[in-house]
Chain A
Amino acid sequence: MELFFQQTINGIMLGSTYVLVALGVTMIYGIMRLPSFAHGHFYMLGAYITFFLITLYNFSYWPALILSMVVLFFIGGLVERIVFRPLREQSQISNFIAAIGILLFIEHMVTVIWGPHSHRIPNPYPEHIYLFGASVSQQRLIVILAAVVLIALLQLFIKKTVIGFTMEATAQDREGAALVGINVNRVSSLTFSIACALAAAAASLVAPIFVIVPGMGSLLVMKAMVIFILGGLGSIPGAIIGGYILGLIEALGGGYISSEYKDVFAFGALILILAIKPTGIFGKGAA
């Protein structure tokens, strides 16, 4: 029971990071029809910037995290502007190549600056607390809570603000949005920025628990892709539910079945589910 509880907390924590990254992938696809394979690398970059601010400039944890989000916000907008906007009319595969260019650039830039080995961000909340007889590190609970807050803020932003509303309109009908005078370029830029800031938040939140390495984003982005496909392309509730489910499956599967092959189950499930429902669980209509 203790193992179950601990693995459930771990699962929700993993799921929190998956949700934050998958939300970014989902929003970018929704607005730009672009599977953003470089997103895991923005996540990694976010962790490194937090690390950099804490170790070099002696920032404390929360200001570093927020500043890292701000930096990624601007980097995201910049990348959209100089890389993806010129490729807007090109095929998805051209955009895919550009994404690979970006991820190579980020990964090797980080490797050159900070080296290929792993780093550790000092854990700001190392104490454990006891819940239902199991010991849980405070940082894990903070990850979970912070993710919930961010997800709620994002929902409020999309549903309650004018900019959020224009984003939703653009996601539903790009040409229509352009016709009614929405500046699609600005919406795309903003979407990319927000998505990157969310990734930076996710990475900075879990960084004190795990180590940071230049390759930390590459498997994560694959999982975000799986979530975004299963959730149905561009469905935000799908990404949220899918992210938590995948985190739980992984933590419980890893705890009870086999830790080497746990990803096989996740990715195998994806193929099987798509075979039965070719447009994902929450998807509607054809791609």
Chain B
Amino acid sequence: MHEYLRKKWFYFLLLLLALVFPLFGPSRLIFTMLILSGIWSIATLGLNLILGYTGQASLAHGAFFGIGAYAVGIMTTRLGLSFWIALPLASFLCAAIGFLIGLPTLRTKGAYFAISTLAFGIIVFIIAGNWSDLTGGHMGLPAIPRPNPIPLPLAGEISFTSPAARYYLVLFFLLLTLWVMHRVVFSLQGYSFMAIRNNENLAEAVGINTFRNKLLSFMVANFFAGLAGGLYAMQLGALSPFITHHVLTFNLIIYLILGGVATLAGPIIGAITVPFIVDALFAIGPYRMVIFGVLLIVSIIYFPRGLMGGLTSLWNRTADYYRHRKDGVRHAAES
């Protein structure tokens, strides 16, 4: 345990920081942004499993996020279900739809898979905008209730009307997602995913049922897209069809790639930094998205492996430098 803490102290420090953060009394805006970043992180971690670890570029991730959001919205408003039941149901619904959509689409590879999942995403967007009886159509779905308070034995109850409570709720689910991803990625199951990403033909030749594994990865990824979507519905309290639009998928991919694909920290770094950068650009006025476009191009050219990749190679170079310096000293001492 001592050894474990020594190696992972940095992560525990970050966790501690995240836990005590609300005590500093941040503004409502910062709270909202952090809650949303937490939600994007969960969705991006899901995308990371199918795209980063399994190598299948799903462009339906935003659509599944939207399905999760609408499922929670519809279940809590029209069916009167509690949020605590609606959220897991919505997540499992996304995994199930992922299974059904995966059956045809995962038979295709590369760009074919990307475009056929994109086609599914566009269909979801059209349905969300036009099936008014279910989704409220283009007018959107208003008045999604806050989660029921959780009663506490001594101290009354946790009510989710305060941003701090929602912050901790999202943080809890983010840690849960991270835990699942950590366990799955660093296991023999994770090896199967990475084998498919690296060389699907060889993976098949060594005996991995690539279709089944891709389907599994797709379902888990979509489960977390749905979970994040459900939390989004809870945070916003209202939905518009644009939450299923492929622009959301593109945003999640940007968080993933700029943060660092196929790492566990990368999606979270991307989902926190990119929205804050975009927000900071608001000060520049009408040209902000023009500049964001340029930033995106420049960073993908100069940091193709994202911030995590950039940091890792910087860390390795620094470590190398010091090792060489030490070696240099030893050589000097020996000679």
Contacts and interface: CB of A to CB of B under 8 A. Distances in A.
B115 A93 contact: no
Contacts of B254: 97, 100
Interface stretch (B18-26, B173-181, B288-296, B323-331): B288-296
Given A90-B304, A93-B253, A105-B294, A222 B118 contact: yes
A29 B295 CA distance: 25
A83 B116 contact: no
B116 A274 contact: yes
A279 B112 contact: yes
A108 B293 contact: yes
A287 B112 contact: yes
Interface stretch (A1-9, A154-162, A259-267): A259-267
In terms of DSSP, what is the predominant structure of the interface of chain B?
helix
Q: Which of B116, B130, B246 has the most CB of A within 10 A?
A: B116
A207 interface: no
A115 to B, nearest CB: 10
Given A87-B300, A274-B105, A287-B111, A102 B123 contact: no
Q: Which of A97, A278, A287 has the most CB of B within 10 A?
A: A97
B304 A94 contact: yes
B95 interface: no
Contacts of A225: 115, 118
B253 A102 contact: no
B104 A105 contact: no
A108 B287 contact: yes
B111 A93 contact: no
A92 interface: yes
Nearest to A82: B297
A106 to B, nearest CB: 8
B112 A97 contact: no
10 contacts: A35-B111, A87-B301, A91-B304, A101-B295, A112-B290, A226-B115, A270-B119, A274-B104, A274-B116, A275-B105
B78 interface: no
A260 B130 contact: yes
Interface string B18-36: 0000000000000000000
In terms of DSSP, what is the predominant structure of the interface of chain A?
helix
B171 to A, nearest CB: 28
Report the interface size class on chain B.
35 or more
B104 to A, nearest CB: 3
Interface string B104-125: 1101111110111011101100
B289 to A, nearest CB: 4
Contacts of B295: 101
Report the interface size class on chain A.
35 or more
A104 interface: yes
- Which 4 residue pairs across A and B have the least CB separation, nearest first? A275-B104, A105-B293, A101-B296, A104-B293
Contact of B57 (A92, A104, A261): A92
Given A260-B126, A271-B116, 17 more contacts: A35-B111, A94-B304, A97-B253, A101-B293, A105-B297, A222-B119, A222-B122, A225-B115, A226-B115, A229-B112, A264-B127, A270-B116, A271-B104, A272-B104, A274-B105, A287-B108, A287-B112
A105 B109 CA distance: 30
B250 interface: yes
B118 A101 contact: no
B271 interface: no
A264 B115 CA distance: 14
A181 interface: no
Interface of A: 29, 35, 83, 86-87, 90-94, 96-98, 100-109, 111-112, 219, 222, 225-226, 229, 233, 260-261, 263-264, 267-268, 270-272, 274-275, 278-280, 286-287
B207 interface: no
A286 B201 CA distance: 11
B308 interface: no
Interface in B285-321: 286-290, 292-297, 300-301, 304
Given A264-B123, A264-B127, A287-B108, A102 B301 contact: no
A180 B258 CA distance: 37
B116 A98 contact: no
Given A226-B115, A229-B112, A264-B123, A112 B104 contact: no
Contacts of A87: 300-301, 304
B89 interface: no
Contacts of B126: 260-261, 263-264
Contacts of A104: 289-290, 292-293, 296
Contact of B120 (A29, A86, A219, A267): A267
A93 to B, nearest CB: 6
B300 A92 contact: no
Contacts of A271: 101, 104-105, 116, 119-120
Nearest to A106: B293
A263 B301 CA distance: 35
B269 interface: no
A284 to B, nearest CB: 13
A271 B103 CA distance: 10
A107 B217 CA distance: 34
A103 B115 CA distance: 18
Nearest to A85: B301
B51 interface: yes
Nearest to B101: A271
Contacts of B300: 87, 90, 94, 97-98, 101
A263 B122 contact: yes
Nearest to B298: A101
Contacts of A286: 109
A102 B116 contact: no
